[in-house]
Structure 1
């Protein structure tokens, strides 16, 4: 194994009210099944902000966020089979799970019955310190949770696929979206823009729902076939009972009934946005009368995430990004709160130097 130096540069939040600031720590030395990765790019997810500011009331400080990681392998343990030094790889939202429950056995580690270990803000199984994420110069991860990146270029724009990409791909795949299907995507943000691209690549007729008329041109550019202004009752009514599937990416509480009414009999709307307070309860008759389904979905398992990366590479899909330096992260958080990004910030980790 190539000599690996565990000293790691990073940006961290030391408490909820502090801005992120330079921080250094030591990664573990790679064990037999570990892969050591030099991080090249890390996407910025809204979950990073929630965690840094303890908005979910579960943050362990110091907190080094970041779970949309693309990098190069710099060392591998003696038992590693899938990766070698120099490989381009990714790490997403998980770095460990119990590996013994029914969900893990089925390759659905995100639903681990004992709880998966997040790439940041979570202790490892079998003991270990708080996990530190991708706002750092390097990371060490068990090879089971390392992903192969086959994109040849635009690696910075690949990084958000490790969260935003799999969060939208997984429900589209689970509900077998494909040719001949009419699919709605609610919201055109970091998640929604990936949903549009992926659903279109799967062959569906894609309709983007937005409250912002100014987003129409961009939605069409990204692959939507139609755009509906969801505040316009006439536009909504024109699509009543016509959708096979709706992917709702909006993370703010809103009335779900208007979208449930657009589903065909046996149609499904899946929620992937996580609001900080509950949605108003849907009218149960809207579900009963059409045997419609309201569902939820959480990221994806490791095998499905690899499938998503390969699918996106095959179809030339990456995220639309704005590159930032590491020292611009606090300003990026404030802009993210105002939805002032198209559509994902990505940190150039070379700027840590």
Structure 2
């Protein structure tokens, strides 16, 4: 068994393991884990709770004995199941919460089988320290260009076109599983803050700091997830390119981009209800009537002109960097493709 210590996030890849195995309970894995890891728990949530109670209420010795039996049974199940087809040259990396008995026991069993097993000393805690160091304690080395613009200016779509054109892109909304506004929730529940940070750290680790990285301009929160301090500080001082487009073009784009809402008018009406504290009752009822009638472009125009644009202008007034501006008369796929190639050539 090879004991491994993490000195940086890149040292995980340097280990060269064929599979990263997280042996913690499913609830621990769901909150956060090393990206790419699979969960092969040696104790379920219920079993972990049971062993903990025995430890507190009876004795540490009995808890270890009961825990060892459960670990052995679960290890046997994994060996007969997910690991049954692994060949002799297979190399796993195993970790638990702190590199203690759970991962140590499972790693020992795999080692005795004959596999070359890597064991993460200090476990998940050592990984989490590296994530926190990157996102909270150290200035990011990346060169960032913010892609800014009001609601409906196709910023997220343009980011994808930039990626297709060969540019380096960090998709914060994709990582956060949210489109960044009241109407931006997707059908997928957002991961925990820790999991968002793990995915963000992994994405940043894969980027070349010497190349320009395009990032969509966001507030400090995307849905319920906070942008960590190191990235937020870099975004606040980054140069910005502001997309401007006619209100009609933006409305036409939104009517096709938010099909999850236009396909479910009742859900859209419910989201409009959340704006009642900001607008008169007559205005809210007018917007809800437009949603019932399926008049999506008119609804989008009114939401932008009366709700989103005034708030965007206020945020722009507080921005530390004044933006360059790019005027697009249309926001169709061809225009965005051509714009992306032009921007990549201009700023690369």
TM-score normalised by the shorter chain: which range applies? Answer: under 0.3
Q: Larger helix proportion, structure 1 or 2? A: 2
The TM-score with structure 1 as length reference comes to: 0.24
* Greater radius of gyration (CA): 2
Q: Larger strand proportion, structure 1 or 2? A: 1
The TM-score with structure 2 as length reference comes to: 0.24
